[in-house]
Chains A and B, each alone.
Chain A
Amino acid sequence: MEPERLTLPASAGSLSAFCEFVRGGAAAAGIAVSEFGKLDLVLEEILINIARYAYSPGDGAVEVKYSLEAEGRLRVEIGDSGRVFNPLEANPPDLSAPLNSRRIGGLGLFLVREMVDSIDYRREDNRNILSFTFPRTSRAE
């Protein structure tokens, strides 16, 4: 099938529309409704990162694209035209630090990696493109 696309401003205000859009794809792919919260979370974390790092200061658009990868699996691509920003290069958070020294950042992308498979970043035509499949089927450990 041809991928479905939606382009909106990179801001928290676009979040619910993006979530509703991709949930439509998830439902069509036969993904259990119980997984939809995780899908929302993945989209939120990525969108907020783009607004904060790729476009700030300033603003721009984000394109979310999805296609059916297999029964029960969705392939999602999120693209922006901001500055070069590869979220996969960010340092992982220290999950064992005690409360008083626990750092507040880095948890969003950590959660994304926990909830998706085959996450990949590429720079193409002056755009950042992050792709993944959902839901996660394998679990390391």
Chain B
Amino acid sequence: MKIEPTELEKAVLLKVSGRMDAENAHEFEDACQHWIATGAKHLIADLNGLQYVSSMGLRCFLSVAQKLQSASGSLMLCGLNGLPRQVFEMTRLIALFPVFETSQQAIATL
């Protein structure tokens, strides 16, 4: 899994690609924690290049979103497709996140 962060005016965009599994999901949570600690209120995860996510990854998305929500922020998702989209839909987690087709659409809401 690769995580490429970009600092924007009102959010941090995290481009996540590859496979997020039990061995590496914590890296995503750690990256989000890092940006939350530096004061980011909104995180946008661009998942266009994400091919795989298991329940360990879902836990990380959920835990980061809960932290941001309690600080009046949000974790926005975009580019969700393939198996990751199916997994978010099956678990109905998709209804708990602001979901956009592209990062531009997510940024436009801020």
Q: Which residues does A use to contact B, with CB under 8 Å? A: 12-13, 15, 37-38, 40-41, 44-45, 48, 93, 95-96, 98-100, 102, 104-105, 107-108, 110-111, 114
Contact = CB atoms under 8 A, between A and B. Distances in A.
B34 interface: no
Given A41-B52, A108-B54, A110-B90, 6 more contacts: A12-B23, A93-B91, A100-B70, A104-B63, A108-B56, A114-B90
Given A15-B22, A38-B83, A100-B66, A95 B91 contact: yes
B96 A98 contact: yes
Contact of A37 (B23, B51, B55): B51
Interface of B: 21-23, 51-52, 54-56, 58-59, 62-63, 65-66, 69-70, 82-83, 87, 90-93, 96
A96 B56 contact: no
A37 B91 contact: no
A85 B84 CA distance: 28
Contacts of B82: 37
10 contacts: A15-B23, A38-B83, A41-B83, A95-B91, A99-B66, A99-B96, A100-B66, A100-B70, A104-B59, A111-B55
B91 A110 contact: yes
A76 to B, nearest CB: 17
Contacts of B55: 45, 107-108, 111
